[in-house]
Each structure stands twice: as C-alpha cells, then as structure tokens.
Amino acid sequence: MLFFSKRKDGGQKSNVDGFFLIELKSLFSIAILKFNKGAREEFHSHAFDALTWFVKGDIVEEDVNGTKYTYKRSLKPKITPKDKVHKVIANKDSWCITIRGKWVENWFEITSDKKKKITFAHGRKVVKEEILD
C-alpha cells in the first residue's frame, strides 16, 4: 500500500506523471495524472478497470484498430476496461483524476510496429514475449 507517491505511470518510457493519493492494488487506486504533450508509441491494455475525469487539456485515444476518440474536460468519466487496447496522445499537457479498480496479474503492450506482444506482471516484469503475424 502506498500513500502520496509520485512516479511515471506506465513505466520509465511513459510520458505520464502519476501523483498517487492511494495505491492499494488488491482493491483500488486514486491518482492525479499529468499527460505530458506527446505520446508513447506502444499500444497497451491495463491491469485494472478505470474511471477517468479529464480536468484540463486535450487527449486523443487511439485503439489498436485505428479508431480515435477525443477527450476534453468533462464531468462524465471516461470508462476504460482493462482489456481495452489503446494508446493515448496528449495534444498538449493534460490533467485528469482517475480511480482504478483491483489489479489483475497480467497486462500487455504491443510494439509500435505491431510485430511483438509483451506480457507483464507487477513491477513491469516481462513474463512472455510473442511475435505477431
């Protein structure tokens, strides 16, 4: 369990700074996220379901099939199921508040060239790598 911690959200290559109010992976997490302008090229799933409220900025979510969604400040939360495979592009520095559910054991990334799938466990430990057709 962690209280009031700061770190990159999504690994060291992430363009997202996470300010975690509480992180109890067996139950839930609450965080303030800063999406710095730009994107991380890997598509990814998550270890958790999330509700996210955008409070400032301009975000584009692209799913693995190429469909794009734009998010701006709203009282209505964005619902992200853990199996949603996407990447997020911040057109400018953007802020949100997120509530995340219980973590599952594994999640994955697909490389930007879509040729490899990497499965992770807690601590971003690589547990499997697959070549995609």
Confidence of residue 22 (pLDDT cuts 50, 70, 90): very high
2-105 topology per CATH:
Jelly Rolls (2.60.120)
86-100 pLDDT, tens digit per residue, is 999 999 999 999 999
Average pLDDT over residues 10-32: 95
Q: Looking at residue 88, what is its pLDDT?
A: 95
Two structure tokens written together for 58: 């301009």
Does residue 61 surpass a pLDDT of 90? yes
Six token digits for residue 121: 């466990």
**Tokens, residue 100:** 């995340």
Place 16 in a pLDDT band, splitting at 50, 70 and 90: very high
User: In this structure, what token pair is assigned to residue 48?
Assistant: 């958790």
Model's pTM, two decimal places? 0.92
| Upper half-sphere CA count for residue 126 (Cβ side, 13 Å) | 8
Query: Which residue type does 53 have?
Result: W
Residue-wise pLDDT tens digits, 39-53: 888 999 999 999 999
Beta-carbon contacts of 71 under 8 Å, excluding residues fewer than 6 positions away, are 54, 58, 59, 60, 61, 78
Contact 6, 34 (CB under 8 A): no
Pairwise CA distance, residues 42 & 32, whole Å: 22
Query: Cα dist. 72→11, 44, 103, 111 in Å?
Result: 24, 21, 26, 27
Contact of 36 with 56, CB cutoff 8 Å: no
